[in-house]
Every structure is written in C-alpha cells, then in structure tokens.
Structure 1
Amino acid sequence: MQKRKLGQQGLEASALGLGCMGMSEFYGQGDEVESIATIHRSLELGINFIDTADMYGPFTNEILVGKAIRERRDEVILATKFGNVRGPNGEFLGIRGDAEYVRQACDASLSRLGVDHIDLYYQHRVDPKVPIEETINAMAELVKAGKVRYLGMSEAAPATIRRAHAVHPISVLQTEYSLWSRDSEEAILPTVRELGIGYVAYSPLGRGFLTGQIKSIEDLPADDYRHNSPRFSGENFQRNLDLVSEVERMAQEKGCSAAQLALAWVLAQGNDLVPIPGSKRRRNLEDNAGALNVELTAEDLQRIDRILPPGAAAGERYAAPQMQALNG
C-alpha cells in the first residue's frame, strides 16, 4: 500500500482511507457485521486510515469502529472529530468549540472508541462564537496530555486555518473534494500547501453519485439523507447524471470502474492529499482500492477537466442550513 505524509509533524497514512460514517447513519440501514468485516478487510488491504466522528450515529459509529479495531489498534491511523453537537435522540444542537467542550468531547470519544489516544483529532466545524485560538489551545493541551497525536480541522476558511496554525501546528485539513466539488482549488488548497498542511478529501465519490450506480433518486433508501441534497434533487439530478455518464464512458475506455476513475483523479492531485471514500460493504471497498492501480496521463487529466471543470455540478454541496457552517 502506498503511504502519504500528511503535514510536517510526522503523520503518515495509507494513500487511500476509509470513511465510516455511512455504516451508522445517513445512507440507509447499517449492517454491523458487514461494517466490521469491511474495516477488517480495509486493514488487510493496507488501508489503515480510518475516519469517524462523534456525531455519526450519533455516537454509535465510534463504538462500532472501536469494536472493529480492538485487537488491531497498532495497525490503525485513527481519526475522529468533535464540534457538531447532537442530543441522545439524534437532534442537532449546534456547534461548540469552547475549551470545556473540547476536553469533554475528547474524553467521550476515547471512551467510546476504547482507546488511550486518537491519532488525528479534527475540529469538525468551526464555532463562530468562539475564537479559533481558544479551540486550538484546548486541542493542543490534548496533545500535551498524550490523548491526541496530531491536530486537524474540517471545512475551515483560509484565514481561520492560518490563525489556528499559528497557535499549534495543524497537520491536516479535511474538506469535501471530488470531480464535482472543486471549490477548494481556489483558495483552500493553495493555503494548506503554503503552510505545509496535508489535505484529506471527504466525499471523493460525490456521495456515491460518481460511482455511476445511482440512476434514479428511487435507487436510494427512503431514509437516505441524499433525498434532501440539492445535487440529488429535481432538474439537478439529471444534469449531474449526464456528467457522470461521461465519466463512465471514459472509465470504460480505461478498463476501470467510474469510482476508480474518480478516485484516481483525486489521488493525482498531489501526494499531500488522501481521499477517504466511505464504504459500508467489502465489495465497494475492494473496488475503491483498485483506484490505486489506475494511471492517468496528462491527456486523461485534461479530458477529465473538460468533462467536469470546477463548478460543473448542478446544485450546492449541502442544503442551505448546512452550507452556513462551511468555510468557517
């Protein structure tokens, strides 16, 4: 398995990660047995970068991941997040980044995961009510205490990243990045590269759309949150489907799946970047892993740029309330 360095503090992970969110929520019914088998298969393939968050489930995804890695902790680069506050019934209670909450959230995650340290601890969303310096100082205390090894941020604006990095080195920024979400190319990617911060791309398959396996909104489970996603709604769905058809056509010519082509494109954007596609099943994980064997020529990359240039996708990344929490 190829390895990539993320940041300048010593963090190194597999070139491809595994996002675990969908195992517990948002993408229809989960299957714990298959999910754990998928995590184990990931480790067998050398994909050791496992991503979760306290809000997924809520709370149950960390428990599931902890159960899966219990006997294999030393093989895993474990990443989790705090900041999106949820109640016991799943209600969303806003964003918190105050020092007291940072400490509470970390201890709760350590308990649920059943581990004594977190390799990469992210602020999931920036709290506009709390100076970023307070949040990062509290996170830095966790590093000093040995509870956390490296610090990360998610969906933060360039100016906020700079302020945070001045307090304590940030190893990773995690933000959505894929063939149909290229917003970060304008300012965020240049900023993190200037500062020597690694980049983790979540939803590198466009929430599954770029796999070519979703042909109709009816293909999604009734309780799937994508029913409320702008890019899966109304006329946007067909417009985006037309774009994906072009990706499928090119993938067929390359002898790979559409998912593999989409992931290979993300991987080709730099060795400081790691995509973390979510997989609930082993067969999808294994297909995604095949992206590491797909070589894209300069001509291939130019063709992909013509098919899906920045801004090509129809619709916003999230519904309006969630969009307000981005680029904080």
Structure 2
Amino acid sequence: MKKRQLGTSDLFVSELGLGCMSLGADKEQAESVIDAALYEGINYFDTADLYDFGLNEEFVGDALKKRRQDLILATKAGNRWNENKDSWTWDPSKAYIKEAVKHSLKRLQTDYIDLYQLHGGTIEDNIDETIEAFEDLKKEGVIRYYGISSIRPNVIKQYLEKSSIVSVMMQYSLLDRRPEEWFSLLKDHNVSVIGRGPLAKGLLTDKWESKLSEKGYLSYSEDELRQLLPSIDAETDLTLTETAVQYSLKQAAVGSIIPGASKIEQVQANCRAANARPLSGEEYIALQALTKFDKYEQHRS
C-alpha cells in the first residue's frame, strides 16, 4: 500500500490506516481484524485511551508488539473517565496529559508513541500549557510527534500558530466536506489531515440502504440521501466504497484516512478501495458538484 508523509515528520503512514475504535471487546476478534490490516499492508494504527476504558489500547498493543518497530502507532488523550466510568470530563492540563501517557504506554506495551494526539480541545483551554506538555514528552523521547483531533477552526488555528503539530484529525468524506475549507491553510503550515469517517457510517458503501436513518446524516435528510447516493455510485465505474476512499485521498493535504472496521471483510474491502485507481479530475469535480460544501458555523473565532 502507498504511504504518505505526515507533515514534516519522518512518519510515513499507509494511505489507509486502521481506526481501532470499532474493534470491540472480543480480543480474538479484534486481533483477527488487526492481523488482516497488517496482511493488507496497513502500517498506521490509531487508537485512544478513551476507547473501552483503555481495553482498546491493550488489544492493539498486544497484537502489534512483535512488529512494533515497523509500525506507526497513534493514540489520544484529554478525556478523563469518572470513577463510575459512565461519563468523562475534558482535561487538557499538563499534569493530566503527562500522567495519561504513562498509562497508554503500559497498555500499548511500548516505550514510545509515534503520534500522540489531543483528543478534542476548546478555545477556553490553556493551550500554551497543553503544548508545553506535548513538547516535554517529545524531549523525553516518550512521543515522537504530536497532533490534535479537532473540528473547531479556532482551536486548529491556535495550534497551527503556536505548536509543532504534524497532523489534524477531522471527520472527512464526500458527505462531510467541511474540512476542505481549511486544507490550504493546513498545507501552508505543512500539517497533514487524518481523515476519520471516510465512509460516513457505512452510507458510502454498497450497504448504504441499510444504513439510512430518519435522522439523515449531518445536513442531508434521508430523502436527499436516497437520491444522492445512487447518483454518486453512477458517477464512476468504481464501487461506492472505492469512489468514497479515492475522493478522500485525492487531496494532497490528506496524509491518511482511517475507516474503522469490526470484521476482516471490512478491512479487505477498504484496502481494495485504497488500491483502486485514482479519480480523474473530471470525476472529482463532478462528485463535488453533486455534494454539499458545508462549513463549520461554530467555533470560528
């Protein structure tokens, strides 16, 4: 599988990584999905301490420990479970991040994390303190690089101006083109996009009809999706999944996309899509003409 450089780092990640949140709580099943991803050439695995109370990190660490030096391992911090583990609070403090990384390292069975990400962020945070925590961890050799997972434009701008982030994770797909507004700015700062949700909760697959909901998807109503999705499918000779994946990979600002998978078959289908032919310029423009170019209306200043 082709690889792309994350920002100015020396991390070269597979164009399609594995978003590990969907692995579930069955260790054997989770490891079978991870093994399938490794077999297909995926070298980038993205988890978080929030997922299944840390169990997700444990599964990932155990499955990857024998090939650790060949892989790019990413996790996230900032969300803090309460004692009952029925809700969490936001804590981007230096003290918490430096404590959280110790637990992640232990669960992942590694002495360093390739990409450590802030799992959210608000403009009210003490951003300078948060950056200081990540920079300290870099100096200590505990993490190699850091990034943020945020859709808030005002937060992204602050980190671009003040920090040495190499990536911003955002939900991005043909049905959620909001990040495109910021691609040129991110590219100017040599920061890569990591696109989560490229298949829009299964709507951009051949099983889209079973994924429809009365709630629709973002600004799309159910009726709009019923009309739109067949039109997207008919626009190219690729499968709907291939079209969706190749659309997200068309932009140079995108370093990797990370669809989730809970089954081996999903990993295989996603990898086939990543290895499909690229979209032509004409196809790309036609797909943009079919879909909405919404913008984030909140958190802009």
Same fold (TM over 0.5): yes
2:184 corresponding residue in structure 1: 190
> Which residue of the partner structure matches residue 241 of structure 1?
226
1:275 and 2:257 matched: yes
What is residue 231 of structure 1 aligned with on the other side?
Answer: 216
**DSSP 3-state at the match of 1:231:** coil
8 Å Cα contact 1:177/1:204 also seen in 2: yes
Correspondent of 1:304 among 281, 287, 292: 287
Using the size of structure 2 for normalisation, the TM-score is 0.90
Q: Distance in 1 between matches of 2:138 and 2:215?
A: 39
When normalised by structure 1's length, the TM-score is 0.83
Residue 181 of structure 1 corresponds to which residue in structure 2?
176
Residues of 1 paired with 2:98 and 2:277: CA distance? 42
Q: Say which SS state the counterpart of residue 200 (structure 2) adopts.
A: coil
What secondary structure, in the 3-state scheme, does the structure 1 residue paired with 2:265 have? helix
Equivalent of residue 210 in structure 1, options 204, 207, 218: 204
Q: SS at the partner of 1:57?
A: helix
Q: How many residues align?
A: 300
Aligned to 2:30: 35
Q: Give, in angstroms, the shift of residue 4 of structure 1.
A: 0.3
Helix, strand or coil at the partner of 1:46:
coil
Shift of 1:49: 0.6
| Structure 1 residue 201 displacement after superposition | 0.4
Distance in 1 (alpha carbons) for counterparts of 2:272 and 2:144? 30
Q: State which of 253, 277, 283 in structure 2 corresponds to 1:294.
A: 277
Q: Structure 2 CA distance, aligned partners of 1:327 and 1:202?
A: 21
Letter in 1 for 2:233: E
Cα shift at 1:205: 0.8
The separation in 2 between residues aligned to 1:180 and 1:210, in whole angstroms, is: 8
- Aligned to 1:293, the other structure's residue is in SS state coil
The answer for the alignment partner of 1:319 in structure 2 is: none
The answer to whether the Cα contact below 8 Å between 1:126 and 1:156 also exists between their aligned partners in 2 is no
Matched, 1:99 2:84: no
Deviation at 1:80? Answer: 0.4
Selected match of 1:135 from 125, 130, 133: 130
Q: Are 2:230 and 1:263 aligned?
A: no
1:295 Cα deviation after fit:
2.4
Unaligned runs of 5+ in 2: none
Local SS of the residue matching 2:80? strand
Secondary structure at 1:296's aligned position in 2? coil
Q: Of 123, 126, 144, which residue of structure 1 is paired with 2:139?
A: 144
- List gaps (5 residues or longer) in structure 1: 25-29, 220-226, 317-322
Q: Percent identity?
A: 30
Shift, 1:264, TM fit: 0.6
Deviation (angstroms), 1:202: 0.6
Give, in whole Å, the separation in 1 of the partners of 2:253 and 2:126: 32
Amino acid of the residue matched to residue 288 of structure 1? N
Let me know the Cα RMSD of the aligned residues: 2.7
State the alpha-carbon separation in 2 of the partners of residues 2 and 66 from structure 1: 24
Shift of 1:257: 2.4
After superposition, the C-alpha distances for 1:201-225 in whole angstroms (9 at most, x for unaligned) are 01111122211314246x8xxxxxx
Q: 1:44 aligns with which of 39, 42, 45?
A: 39
CA shift, 1:164, in A, is 2.8
Cα deviations by residue, 1:154-191 (Å, 9 ceiling, x for unpaired): 115444334334544111111111101111112x2222
**8 Å contact 1:96–1:127 — kept in the other structure?**
no
Contact 1:183 1:311 in 2 (8 A): yes
